Structure 1
């Protein structure tokens, strides 16, 4: 039931943003009673924290272990966050956008947990064997890309999506 509830929260975040996360709306979307929802998650913040943690676990499963070779973590970061083909902004597969929404709208506790994950990831990027500026630039470009997608701030589309992604990938390969 817990996963069904978190799936519902993700769907509501994608379709309606953080304002759509109301306990009654989540219960209805998940097909559970409000009491069943409250048994697993006591508040909106707990729901958003649960979504964020589940997405972080999935994201980390796509990343290589420490010591995987020069540039491996930075390449995996790019591959796990920007698909080769352009997908519609806020599509259900847009897990990064959902994580950003959860982190930004879950209050200080959820945001601080997200910030701690980012510190760990940034440390791994900086120690990936690439020039730290290259690894940092890739992370910042990816983060900007997802913020543009999340807020529909003219993100790259179609051929430009592929070209920008290819340039980021070539930066990594040239430095590896």
Structure 2
């Protein structure tokens, strides 16, 4: 059993049943492994949640690095829409799982601060870039609760509009 499959099972459990259902036995059952098999990879519930948080950060950083764009915010829009389109909207599940433990949330809070501060001063319009990044957060959050809300046409229109907001105003 690979670590990603165990993390997937934990995230699915959180999305389906909420944080009270996140037990090592339930995750092992969902993943189709023994509790001992789960404990081999993640020695505690906290280690499992930490693994989910770390993977979320790593995945979004990889999406950011893979995006085309002249500015960080353009890449941020692309990374957000890639996450929304892929259906891997686990941020809500991860935050739900870690919500009772500030130590487990700390890396995600640090990543969010970095994602929202990175390159702002280099943007043509830092305030517009901040608004676009915050809109991306809202899109991701809403899509995690209602993945059917926006069609592909809707997402394309939103992406175009967000990108247009990043263009400097005419002089």
Cα 1:27–1:69 shift into 2, 3 Å: closer
- How many residue pairs end up in the alignment? 164
Partner of 1:79: 78
Displacement, 1:69?
7.3
Is the 1:22–1:44 Cα contact (8 Å) retained in structure 2?
yes
Residue among 64, 87, 92 paired with 1:94: 87
Distance of 1:105 and 1:4 partners within structure 2: 17
TM-score (norm: length of structure 1): 0.77
Structure 1: gaps of 5 or more residues? 88-92
Is the 2:24–2:44 Cα contact (8 Å) retained in structure 1?
yes
Is the 1:63–1:76 Cα contact (8 Å) retained in structure 2?
yes
TM-score (norm: length of structure 2): 0.79
1:43-122 aligned within 5 A: 43-64=44-65, 70-71=70-71, 73-83=72-82, 93-95=86-88, 97-106=89-98, 107-122=101-116
Partner of 2:124: 130
Structure 2: gaps of 5 or more residues? none
Q: CA RMSD in A?
A: 2.9
